[in-house]
Amino acid sequence: MSDRKMITAALPYANGPVHIGHLAGVYIPADVYARFQRRLGKDVAFICGSDEHGIPITIRAKKEGVTPQDIVDQYHEVIKKSFSDLGISFDEYSRTTSKKHHEVSQDFFKTLYDKNKFTEEVSEQYFDEKAGEFLADRYIVGTCPKCSNEGAYGDQCEKCGATLSPAELINPKSMLSGNVPVLKETKNWYLPLNEYEDFLNEWIIEGHKDDWKPNVYGQVKSWLTDGLKPRAMTRDLNWGVPVPLPDADGKVLYVWFDAPIGYITFTQEWAEKNGKDWKDYWQNENSDLIHFIGKDNIVFHCIIFPAMMKAHGNYIMPANVPAFEFLNLENEKISTSRNWAVWAHEYVQEFPGQQDVLRYALLSSAPETKDNNFTWKDFQTKNNSELVGIFGNFINRVAVLIHKYYNGIIPDGKLGETEQQEIKKAGSEIETYLEKFEFRNSLTALMNLARYGNQFLQIEEPWKTIKENPEKAANSLFNAAQIAVALAQFCEPFMPFSSEKLLTMFNCDQQKWEDLMNRDLMIESGHQINEAGLLFSKIEDETIDFQIQKLEQTKESNKKTNPKANPMKDEIQFDDFTKIDLRTATILTAEKVEKADKLLKFTVDTGVDVRTVVSGVAESFTPEECVGKQVMILLNLAPRKIRGIESQGMLLLATKPDGKLTFVTPENEVENGVEVS
C-alpha cells in the first residue's frame, strides 16, 4: 500500500440538501478513512465538490421557475456548510460550474478526441415535440424491462439498480410535458466501452477478486458478463460543459463524463493552493486512488471512468471502490421527492453540539454490504445507552475521581499487562478494520475498550480502596487514565468533536497512530488534567417523539399529495362498454339547489339537446365558475330525480389530492356532442 492516498467522495447533486443516507453511505465513512490515514502519517488528498450539471438540477430549476445556476448557487452553499458543520474534513470542496473545471474536462475530452478514442454516431434520440427539446436520459421515465418498476429513468432503474438506455424503457414518457416522445436523429460522440472489456476483466475480475467488496465486485462482474456497449459521452442539452468541437453546437459533455473529472479538477485547485503537484496523486503508481460512493454509482466509477482514464493513458486506476448500499429511514426508502429524509442542515440546527452523536449512530448502522435502517428510537438508544452510558460515563468518572482525590494530577502507578493489552488490541483492531473498510467493526473495537474501562472501574472500585489502600486506588486510576486517553486518541476519526474535547480535558495533544501503538503510556504520572465535563447528554423521549411526529406529518402530507388509487372495480365485458355514450357538452347555466349544500343544478348543451343535470359539486365550485365550461357527460344514463329535480345524465369528475372535485375536460375545445372514446 502506498504512503499517498487520493481519496474521493461522490459529488452530491446540487439540487437539494444532503440527508442521512448520503452521510451514512458516502461522506462519514470517507471522512473516517481520510482522518485515519492522516493519523497514520499518509500524504492524503481528500477531495469532493458539488455536481452542478446533473439533470436533477435542470428538473428542479424548471419546477421552481428559476435558472439552473440559481439552484446550484443556493444548494452548493447549503451542502458545503452541512459538511463543515458535521466535521467532514475535505481538503478541497469545489464545484463543477467553475471555469477551471470546464477547462479541465474539455481538455480531457479533446485528448481522447485527438487520440481517436471516440466514435461519431448518428442515432435516434427521444425528442419532446411539445417542449422542442431532445430529452436527456433522466428526462425520460417508463417501465423497467428487468423489474417492471414503472418509475425507471432512461439511464437507470433505482429500484433494481439496472443500467438502462432510454430505448429499453417500456412506455416511455417525457418528464417535461408528460407526452410520449418521438425518435429524432442526432449526432454524438461515443466511447466504445466494449473495447475495454479485456482490460476491465484483467484489472478488476482477476486483479481485485480478493480485496474488493463483494457487492462491488459482483455488480462489475455482472455487467462485464452481459457485455458492454458504446456509450455517448455528449448530450443534446443546454446546461453543462460545452463540447469543445466546432460542429457541436447545442451539445454538452455527458454528466458522467464531466463529473468524475471533477475529482481531477478539484485536486488541481487544492494542489495549486498548497504547493503540491496534482500529478503525484493521479498519475503516479505510488498513489492509492480510493473512491467512496453509493451502490448506484458503481458502474460509473468502476467501468466508465476507468475506461476514460485508460483511453487517456496517463492515469492510475482505483486501488479500491468501497461502495455502500442504501440506508432506509424508519423501514422505508429515503426519498427526497417525498421529503422522507433526515436532512443534515436541519439536524445540526435541532441537535446543536451533537454532531458526533449522528456520526456515531450512522457509522454503527452503515450499509456496508447490504441496505440498513435508521430509526429515531435506535438513534436515542445508541446515544443514551452507548455514548452516555458507556463511553461518556467511563471517561467522566475517571476525570472526576482524579480531580476529587488528586487535584487533577495523574497519580503514580504501573500499567497493568491486561490494560496494556486491551489498549493495544483496540488500536490494532481499529486499524485492521479501517484498512478493510469495515467501519462498523472498527467502531465496535473502540466501544469495546470503553466497555472494558467501565468493567475495570467497577472491579477496582477506587472510591472504596482510596481509604483502606490508597496505593491500589492510585494505581487503579492511573490505569483508568491510560484507557481514557487511549479512547480520546482513538475516537478522533469517528467522533472528532468529542476527541478534541477529551484531549483538552486531559491536556494532551493528538498523536500519530504509530506513536500511540509504540508507546507504553498514554499519559504520564504527574500530568495535570483540566476540569471534567459531560461529553454526551441524554436525549429525552420528547425530543425523539418530535422527530417521529415530523415524519408522520410528512407521511400524511404525502398521502394527500400522492394518494393511492382505489382498487379496480369488477371487470366488464367489451359489449358493456360499447353501451356507454360519452359526449362533450357545455354548461349554459348553473344554480344552487335549495336546502342542498352539495348540489348544483346545470343546464347543459350536449350537442344532441339541452338538458338538466344535477351534480354534487357545490363544495368545489361556485355556480359562476361552472358557466361556460366544456365538460364530458354520460349521455345515456337513465334519468332519476334528485331533490325533486329530474337529472338527465352525469358529468365526469375527478377528485384532487385536497378532496376538491375537478371537471374532466377535453385538452382543446371541440364541438358539443363529440363522442368520447
Per-residue pLDDT of 428-469, as tens digits, reads 999 999 999 999 999 999 999 999 999 999 999 999 999 999
Portion of the chain with pLDDT greater than 70, in percent: 98
pLDDT of residue 578: 81
With helix as H, strand as E and coil as C, how does 519-569 read?
CCCCCCCCCECCCCCCCCCCCCHHHHHHHHHHHHHHHHHHHHHCCCCCCCC
pLDDT of residue 167: 86
* H/E run at residue 439: helix 439-460
- Check whether 384 has a pLDDT greater than 80: yes
* Top-confidence residue, 175 or 383: 383
- Say which residue the cell 482510596 belongs to: 466
The binding site for ATP comprises: 336
User: Which residue type is seen at 137?
Assistant: D
Query: Mean pLDDT, to the nearest integer, of 639-663?
Result: 87
The binding site comprises: 144, 147, 157, 160, 336
Query: Mean pLDDT, to the nearest integer, of 24-31?
Result: 98
pLDDT of residue 63: 82
Query: Mean pLDDT, to the nearest integer, of 558-568?
Result: 64
Domains plus CATH for the chain?
Answer: 4-107+255-324 (3.40.50.620), 113-235 (2.170.220.10), 375-518 (1.10.730.10), 574-663 (2.40.50.140)
Q: How far apart are CA 135 and CA 132, in angstroms?
A: 9
Q: How far apart are CA 320 and CA 211, in angstroms?
A: 8
pTM of the model: 0.82
Q: Any idea which of 100-104, 263-267, 522-526, 672-676 has the lowest mean pLDDT?
A: 672-676
Q: Which of 337, 304, 335, 338 is nearest to 321 (CA)?
A: 304
- Check whether 633 has a pLDDT greater than 60: yes
Q: Which of 56, 112, 8 is nearest to 240 (CA)?
A: 56
Q: Which residues pair with 485 in a beta bridge?
A: none
- Check whether 38 has a pLDDT greater than 80: yes
pLDDT of residue 657: 67
Q: Which of 393, 108, 425 is nearest to 262 (CA)?
A: 108
* Residue positions counted in the chain: 677
pLDDT of residue 144: 93
* H/E run at residue 187: strand 182-191
pLDDT of residue 233: 97
- Say which residue the cell 483508568 belongs to: 480
Q: Any idea which of 38-52, 69-83, 192-206, 593-607 has the lowest mean pLDDT?
A: 593-607
pLDDT of residue 302: 98
- Check whether 73 has a pLDDT greater than 80: yes
Q: Is the backbone of residue 353 left (phi > 0), alpha (psi -120 to 50) or beta?
A: left
Cβ-based neighbours of 446, under 8 Å, separated by 6 or more: 426, 430, 487, 490, 491, 494
pLDDT of residue 568: 67
Query: Mean pLDDT, to the nearest integer, of 356-371?
Result: 96
pLDDT of residue 342: 97
Per the structure block, which three cell numbers stand in for 473? 486506588
pLDDT of residue 379: 98
Q: Any idea which of 359-368, 420-429, 634-643 has the lowest mean pLDDT?
A: 634-643
Report the chain's mean pLDDT, rounded to a whole number: 94
- Check whether 562 has a pLDDT greater than 60: no
